[in-house]
Structure 1
Amino acid sequence: MQGVWRELAGLVLPVDCAGCGRPRTELCAGCRRVLARDGRGARRVRPWPEPGGLPRVWAGAPYADEVRAVLLAHKERGALRLAGPLGAVLAGAVRGLRAGGGPLLLVPVPSARRSVAGRGHDPVRRIALAAAGELRRTGTGARVLTVLRQRRVVADQAGLSARQRLANVTGALEVRAGAGRLLTGRAAVLVDDLVTTGATLAEAARAVTASGGRVAGAAVVAAPSSAFESDGARIEALPRGK
């Protein structure tokens, strides 16, 4: 219900642009153009140190400036209509993977139930649905499979090192009972809003593979600028993160 009330409030109450703060618009034309431009420039990203089992990861945009502000507004402040433009950026990252023929299966990384309850929505799932819609609109078959769940509680990742985050999430995810048949013999693309250390995506890949699925890669809305490859080479070490 929280999400519904936020959407209704956004229709009648004045809001500021999530990207730059321009008054009386949830996302101004300038920031919308920035997101659209970044979504067309998706590139591969690689954390360092790279956790074992991490599939190839593509990101739609650097996690900075307008993109960072819009992601946080959608995730933490419940600006739900921002899922559309963020989904378009994620769709650009999915296209970059070139995951092969046939319809794509987008598998969102799950949020903790307490986080979903606190926010009133699941931001990654919402962005994934928008991305699937954008892919279908442009001629690529895609559907979202919400099959992953947390099998145990994990600690808040904030402030943990890359090694600590990997230990924190190892073995924490599983495919829902009975959902493995939806993945068997099919290529899945893991999707998330942000990657930093890659620990969560590596764990998601392990869980999907253990259930009989095949991971074609991972796509995220954003990653730190330092993680983006340039001419096939990693630029520099990746800072702490997700």
Structure 2
Amino acid sequence: MLDLVLPLECGGCGCPATRWCRQCARELAVRPDQPHLVNPRLDPGVPVFALGRYAGSRRRAILAVKEHGRSDLIAPLAGALREGVVRLESWGVIDSSVAFVPAPTRRFAARRRGGDPVTRIARAASLHVVEALRSRALTRDSVGLSVLDRQRNVANRIRLVRPVRGDVVLVDDIITTGATATESVRVLQTHGARVVAVLTLAHA
């Protein structure tokens, strides 16, 4: 239906007549030294890895999935996530038995977006996904909030809704200040999970 209403264009650069062009595919590809270890302003206490900067085609693709319903871009983002997971396994950071817990999202936002994009991307990457976390009511959208306000916004507002044990990787689309990752890791560890890393598609 969208194809009948909107012109077909690349979700990364707007190039016409294609959903995802070769140039954007090259930009999203995971290089031999990726994912990179990054240092968010709030330290969750575990290694944080990101596949690239929140810029260019990567940023536009993530926004297109989250805000414009471009479900056709889940596949390339999932492919990059899968490559990053394989790289971490080859480095010995994680092993094949690890569970991947999507960072929590607000129910309202998930409904508006037709489901949680991070969960959809992780599932499309053929990862062992456990939807263990959920944001409590009254948690605000973090866009535009300062580091302190982001920290206050999520403090005690992330809850465990499904038990998870053993090694866990928290997965998210973007890491900015690290507030959500820090609170998510705390909740998981409090309930017996061993969080070995955070992995994101991008860092801002």
1:89, CA displacement in angstroms?
2.0
Q: Does 1:203 align with 2:183?
A: yes
1:74-113 residue pairs with structure 2 within 5 A? Answer: 74-97=65-88, 98-113=92-107
Find the counterpart in structure 1 of residue 129 from structure 2: 144
Q: Percent identity of the aligned residues?
A: 37
Q: Does 1:67 align with 2:67?
A: no
- Structure 2 SS opposite 1:17: coil
2:4 and 2:183 map into 1 onto residues whose CA distance is 39
2:179 and 2:64 map into 1 onto residues whose CA distance is 24
1:118 and 1:222 map into 2 onto residues whose CA distance is 22
Q: 1:193 aligns with which of 153, 167, 173?
A: 173
Query: What is the number of residues matched between the two proteins?
Result: 201
- Are the counterparts in 1 of residues 97 and 167 from structure 2 also a CA contact under 8 Å? no
Structure-2-length-normalised TM-score: 0.89
Find the counterpart in structure 1 of residue 155 from structure 2: 170
- Are the counterparts in 2 of residues 109 and 201 from structure 1 also a CA contact under 8 Å? yes
1:91, CA displacement in angstroms?
2.5
- Structure 1 SS opposite 2:196: strand
- Aligned CA RMSD, in angstroms, stands at 2.1
- Structure 1 SS opposite 2:52: strand
Q: Does 1:56 align with 2:36?
A: no
1:120 and 1:210 map into 2 onto residues whose CA distance is 31
- Are the counterparts in 1 of residues 174 and 202 from structure 2 also a CA contact under 8 Å? yes
- Are the counterparts in 2 of residues 40 and 89 from structure 1 also a CA contact under 8 Å? no
**Structure 1: which 5+ runs fail to align?**
1-7, 134-141, 225-242
Stretch of structure 1 that moved more, 187-196 or 95-104: 95-104
Amino acid corresponding to residue 40 of structure 2 in structure 1: P
- Structure 1 SS opposite 2:95: coil
Q: Does 1:26 align with 2:6?
A: no
- Are the counterparts in 2 of residues 38 and 61 from structure 1 also a CA contact under 8 Å? no
Q: Does 1:17 align with 2:10?
A: yes
Regions of 4+ moved over 6 Å: none
- Are the counterparts in 1 of residues 106 and 136 from structure 2 also a CA contact under 8 Å? no
Stretch of structure 1 that moved more, 213-222 or 29-38: 29-38
Q: Does 1:46 align with 2:26?
A: no
1:16 and 1:39 map into 2 onto residues whose CA distance is 29
- Are the counterparts in 2 of residues 43 and 93 from structure 1 also a CA contact under 8 Å? no
Give the direction of change, closer, same or farther, for the CA distance of 1:34–1:146 in structure 2 (3 Å limit). same
Give the direction of change, closer, same or farther, for the CA distance of 1:39–1:211 in structure 2 (3 Å limit). farther
Structure-1-length-normalised TM-score: 0.76
1:121 and 1:15 map into 2 onto residues whose CA distance is 23
2:29 and 2:202 map into 1 onto residues whose CA distance is 13
- Structure 2 SS opposite 1:190: strand
